Amino acid sequence: MSTFKNIQGKNIRSYENNAPNATAGEMWYNRTDLKLKGVVSTSAWSSASSLNVARAELMGAGTQTASLAVGGYTTTTIANAEEYNGSGWSNVTSMPAEKHKPATGGTQTAAFVAGGYPPNSGNNVTYEYDGTNWTSGGTMNTARRALRGSGTLPAGLAIGGYDGSTAVTNVEEYDGTNWANGGALPAATYNLGAAGTQTATVAFGGYTPPANTTNAYHYDGSSWTSTGSMNTARNQMGCGGIQTSALAFGGDTTPGTDVAVTELYNGSTWTTSPASMAVAKVAMGSAQLTPSNSTGLAFGGSPPGSGMTNTEEWNVSANVVAAAAWASGGTVPYTSRQNMSFGTQTAAIGCGGYVSSTLDTSVSYDGTSYSGTPALNVAARMGGVAGTQTAGLQFGGIQPPGTYNTNVQSWNGSAWSNNPYNLSTGTYGLMGCGTSTAALKVGGENPGGGNYTTSEEYDGEGWTAGGALPESKYEGAGNGVQTSALIAGGSPSGTTTFEYNGSSWTAGGALATSRPGTKAGSAGVSSSSNIVFGGNAPPGVITATEGYDGTAWSTRPSLGTGRGSTTGNGTATAGLMVSGGPPSGTTTATEEFTEQTTSINIVDITTS
């Protein structure tokens, strides 16, 4: 009789709980659960952070964790470019000219974009991207759009397309300087998919007049041969991988009928995956240079009539991915905006704020629900805070009947007391961070008119002048500690960021979404680990969330409900937003942010 060891070459071991460092295909007996367990691979699409600019008919380059989105169409053709780092999208230098439906290939730091639209007759212009700047490349021999690229820079391929009057079979090879004609496609096709290198590409699907096709072909650097057909005829799909391990997803099956179907290619045969995209769509961008069909990235695209910011990641692995997201938290027992909070996502203090008057209310949060705590000694709103649930500070802001106060109040975990060390100047709309014995106060509005560039540092025994901001800031969002802090957005400029090292402020990366007023929330522990969320971007409040890595901001999943005049605390991976509202109106809602996590996919093994 065969045993598992005879078949697999492995013994089934016994563990008190689960096997340590288990890998796909491994099996063991769990003595606590009295069950046979194992790790299996799963195939799934998961939601990821959105593009900054909603669009369709864009193209992509790079891999799942280092991708480039270029061009596209909104209500007009655009030149915008964005980079994806595996967590979110950040705006980068736009192309020299607008394009949609071009051919793309290469990596995030060495990419080419060729052909595309406009004009109506197509074009033959090429641009190259080095991760920072765009330069002009070689001129294609045949002007066209709705073509597909593959390969790298400087070894790219441009396949098929539409020349303004008809589908074409043209294929061209790029060496980083010149385009040369390669072997023609067996059938004139546009809006097709492709994956691979200049000398080993698979091209598939697309529109071969008068209908979509399931045809697939292999290219060896000189000629094309037929291979296994796709299961679903479609055009304007997403794609990725290599010639022997390719991926196709989404697209249009008949005019106006978008699909979410995913197919995997093994070098000869296409298989339809049971895992479909969350959103059926067409004309999306994709990470075309993924090393196999086990990873993929889809971004933008369109259901009929609109561009999207939607991003999805495809993974075939033994890990289960829980996407980053905001979720509803406990309800604050009092309604307010312009309130303040400090601590962590599971251990926070909220205080002050405004409804029809300035409030002295204080509450505690345990990660599930809020409970009342003793009131502030002095009612306050739009001031600064610092510290933890057991040791904190509140300083500055406005106190009734409208005084810009210098008061500092201390929290010891059970009660508020007046701190003898006041701020040097009364300030409203400031940013505060740090601890109860090492706090930082930054910017704010000057009661005499204008905004401050000043900062002050607290050491437990008084306040001293810190470094001056390069520009004044009012209602800026930020967080961190006294020696590594960040402030971003606010008035007068809604996108600037400044980082503090304990002595001086320097300019950082610009926010992608301007937040010029009605304070955004923030969470973070340093100048290189922060998230900013909500705030005001006229004509209203926003849901946009961005994360900062010390160099650039990139998108994160959006808030469930947009709001300004809000507050936040916690970390960039576990943040908390508390109350807030538009300029008029308030809320008691709390939202909690959790960064993406992965876990091993352990299942029970049965004989049924």
The string of pLDDT tens digits covering residues 337-350 is 999 999 999 999 99
* pLDDT for the residue numbered 121: 57
Average pLDDT over residues 291-312: 91
> Which own/partner pairs from 542-548 qualify as long-range (CB within 8 Å, at least 24 positions apart)?
542/513, 542/515, 544/512, 544/513, 545/326, 545/593, 546/88, 546/511, 546/512, 546/513, 547/87, 547/88, 547/572, 548/486, 548/488, 548/497, 548/508, 548/509, 548/524, 548/572
Confidence bin at 607 (pLDDT 50/70/90): low
- How many Å apart are CA 191 and CA 144, to the nearest integer? 11
Query: Is 199's pLDDT higher than 80?
Result: yes
Confidence bin at 122 (pLDDT 50/70/90): low
- How many Å apart are CA 485 and CA 508, to the nearest integer? 11
Pair 355, 336: CB distance under 8 Å? yes
Average pLDDT over residues 288-305: 92
- How many Å apart are CA 401 and CA 455, to the nearest integer? 25
Query: Is 213's pLDDT higher than 90?
Result: yes
Residue pLDDT, tens place only, 226-241: 999 999 999 999 999 9
Closest CA to 149 of 169, 173, 168, 165: 173
Average pLDDT over residues 316-325: 86
Q: b/e map of 130-150 (b: 16 or more CB within 10 Å)? A: eeeebeebbebebbbbbbbbb
- How many Å apart are CA 113 and CA 339, to the nearest integer? 48
- How many Å apart are CA 354 and CA 331, to the nearest integer? 17
* pLDDT for the residue numbered 2: 46
* pLDDT for the residue numbered 94: 98
- pTM score above 0.85: yes
- Structural domains of the chain sorted by starting position, each given as residue range(s) with its CATH number in brackets: 4-40 (no CATH), 44-323 (2.120.10.80), 326-594 (2.120.10.80)
If DSSP states are collapsed to H, E and C, what string results for 182-232? CCCCCCCCECCEEEEECCEEEEECCEECCEECCCEEEECCCCEEECCCCCC
DSSP code of residue 535: -
Residue pLDDT, tens place only, 557-571: 999 999 999 999 999
Pair 385, 393: CB distance under 8 Å? yes
* pLDDT for the residue numbered 487: 97
Within 8 A by CB and 6+ apart from 165, the residues are none
DSSP code of residue 439: E
- How many Å apart are CA 412 and CA 389, to the nearest integer? 8
Pair 566, 534: CB distance under 8 Å? yes
